Amino acid sequence: MRVAVLATDGVEQVELERPWQALEEAGAEPELVSLETGQITAYDHIDKAGTKQVDLDVSSADPDDYAALVLPGGVVNGDFIRADADAVAFVKAFFEAGKPVAAICHAPWVLAEADVVRGRRMTSWPSLQTDLRNAGAKWVDEEVVVDGNLVTSRKPDDLDAFTAAMVEQFAAGPEEDDEG
């Protein structure tokens, strides 16, 4: 199973590394998709923490090549990704195909921008709650929330619950269309 991990400079390092490791341990093949080729710089809150090589830039990436999508957090990461039209379209395509998506911390900003949160129960970093409610989501303050094919969590402290729910949802595969 190939899984796209969409991130850019400013990604929260632990929110990139822990899901990546959980995917590999579950037998999946994560690939880093970003706004540009080269390397991205990860952060530990506001301090530079390391780099990671990009596998593919988002403008060249095809959502059909992936079974699922992970959106790690980080304030700068979430803000940069939601401002990129190719990245937003890439994310939206996963929802249109019913594929599982996992987003943590500030990553749900991208989901709001893609207009895929309306009517969904979800969580995020607390400062995003108004943005998500304004986009039509039912925001809750819980460690991990699973709503259909969407898994969301609040922060690095939630990573154990987040990665467990993510692996379970990804193993279940795409949501079936009840009308089809």
Superfamily of domain 2-172: Class I glutamine amidotransferase (GATase) domain (3.40.50.880)
pLDDT, one tens digit per residue, over 5-57 is: 999 999 999 999 999 999 999 999 999 999 999 999 999 988 899 999 999 99
Give the integer Cα–Cα distance in Å for 33 and 150: 19
Q: Which of 52, 82, 99, 106 is catalytic?
A: 106
Q: What is the mean pLDDT of each run of 10 residues along the chain (180 residues)?
A: 97 98 98 97 92 97 98 96 98 97 98 98 98 98 97 98 97 66
Tell how many helices (H) and how many strands (E) occur in the chain: 6, 12
The domain segmentation of the chain, as residue ranges, is: 2-172
Do residues 1 and 27 lie in contact, with contact meaning Cβ atoms separated by under 8 Å? yes
Taking residue 135's Cβ as centre, other Cβ atoms within 10 Å add up to 20
- The alpha carbon torsion through 127, 132, 138, 142 (nearest 10 deg) reads -40
Helix, strand and coil content of the chain, in percent to the nearest 5, comes to 40, 25, 35
Dist. CA 86–CA 116, nearest whole Å: 15
pTM: 0.95
Residue with tokens 């729910």: 165
Annotation marks residue 45 as catalytic: no
Q: Give the Cα separation of 84 and 118 in Å (integer).
A: 21
CA distance 7 to 21: 15
Q: Is 39 within 8 Å of 106 (Cβ atoms)? A: no
